[in-house]
A = this chain, B = another copy of it.
Amino acid sequence: MGELKLSKPYLLQAADLTTEDVKLIFDKSDYFLEHYKRGEKFDDLKGVTVAMVFFEPSTRTKLSFDIAAKRLSADTISFQSATSSLTKGESLIDTLHTIEAMGVQMYVVRHGKSGVPQFLQANTSGVILNAGDGKHAHPTQALLDSYTLYRHFGAVKGLKVCIIGDIIHSRVARSDIALLKTLGAEVTLCAPGTLLPRNRNIWDCPIIESLDDAVEWADVMLVLRLQRERMESGILPSITEFSKYYGVKYEHFTRKPELVLMHPGPVNFGVELDYRLSTYPNCLIQTQVTHGVFIRMALLSLLGRDL
């Protein structure tokens, strides 16, 4: 496995990944998943310093990357800048160059503005891993979602995945659509009109009008988090109404027990998802979180091996 490499020496968006890249990442994740279970330790990043550069608050993604890096014996440092110091583009690059000059080689970056990881990658000889930028991309989430499907079904190709809920504001949706299509899944969308892109054909995914139709069609329901902030902006009339028509209910799954349920978390139970579904056998939400750590170990190891 030593000579295999990702086609790009960084991870900015799911659209950059080839099927060969994904195979390599999934194989490496399988490796870590199996060997970690047996209590093995990993030295892949011994002597490598990984900076967690989060300009947006994050709990899950940051912890997941942090645990992944530590399991590979990396040193991790955390750099959490106030947005205020970012008014000038130069200062962001200057900060990057300063951290880089200290010998940091890998950067896990989250930023509220789309495109920041690309901008940083263009200005460093280090490795950027995009941990979410604005509404643009969240490629490690897409990878862990597809990996979870791969482990559950044995393959992603040909799966019918319906993405449900707050699609227009979601970097997760964008990245999932891109990767699922690369891997040969069929993707549809189900959401109220105000939570869909204005140009409904922009991502080339059919729209399914009702949850009932989605349940009938899909192998997988991938439910998104409804950002509470959306309410205040007047995009939705009320949470109750959203929940009535687009909240996924327990009955949807008793009707079709083989249907798989996924959600990137954290879940607004009672809004986009019935709480009783959290213990439903084919609810893979916890599995997604578990796989997230192995996917990130795989990426850090593959991208960090030549540093």
Tell me which of A99-107, A114-122, A130-138, A159-167 binds B. Answer: A99-107
Asked if A286 CB lies within 8 Å of chain B CBs, one says yes
- Which of B36, B67, B97, B286 is close to A75, meaning CB atoms less than 8 Å apart? B67
- Given A67-B102, A71-B75, A94-B266, A41-B36 contact (CB < 8 Å): no
Q: Is the CB of A101 within 8 A of B286?
A: yes
Asked if A235 CB lies within 8 Å of chain B CBs, one says no
Q: Is the CB of B71 within 8 A of A102?
A: no
Asked if A98 CB lies within 8 Å of chain B CBs, one says yes
Asked if A170 CB lies within 8 Å of chain B CBs, one says no
- Given A36-B103, A59-B79, A103-B36, A289-B98 contact (CB < 8 Å): yes
A286 surroundings in chain B (CB, below 8 A):
97-98, 100-101
A77 surroundings in chain B (CB, below 8 A):
63, 66-67, 70
- Given A36-B103, A289-B101, A293-B103, A75-B70 contact (CB < 8 Å): yes
Restricting to A213-247, which residues have a CB under 8 Å from any CB of B? none
Copy tally for this chain in the complex stands at: 3
- Given A70-B75, A75-B71, A90-B275, A99-B63 contact (CB < 8 Å): yes
A269 surroundings in chain B (CB, below 8 A):
90, 94
A47 surroundings in chain B (CB, below 8 A):
39, 41, 71
- Given A98-B289, A289-B98, A104-B267 contact (CB < 8 Å): no
Residues of A within 8 Å of B, CB-based: how many? 42
Give the dominant DSSP class at A's interface.
Answer: helix
Asked if A305 CB lies within 8 Å of chain B CBs, one says no
Q: Is the CB of B267 within 8 A of A102?
A: no
Closest 6 pairs between A and B when the two form their complex, measured CB to CB: A101-B289, A70-B75, A101-B286, A101-B290, A102-B293, A41-B47
Q: Can you report 21 residue pairs joining A to B where beta carbons are below 8 Å apart?
A: A36-B103, A41-B46, A49-B67, A49-B70, A49-B71, A59-B79, A59-B81, A60-B98, A63-B79, A63-B102, A64-B102, A71-B75, A91-B266, A94-B269, A98-B289, A100-B286, A101-B287, A101-B289, A101-B290, A102-B292, A103-B290
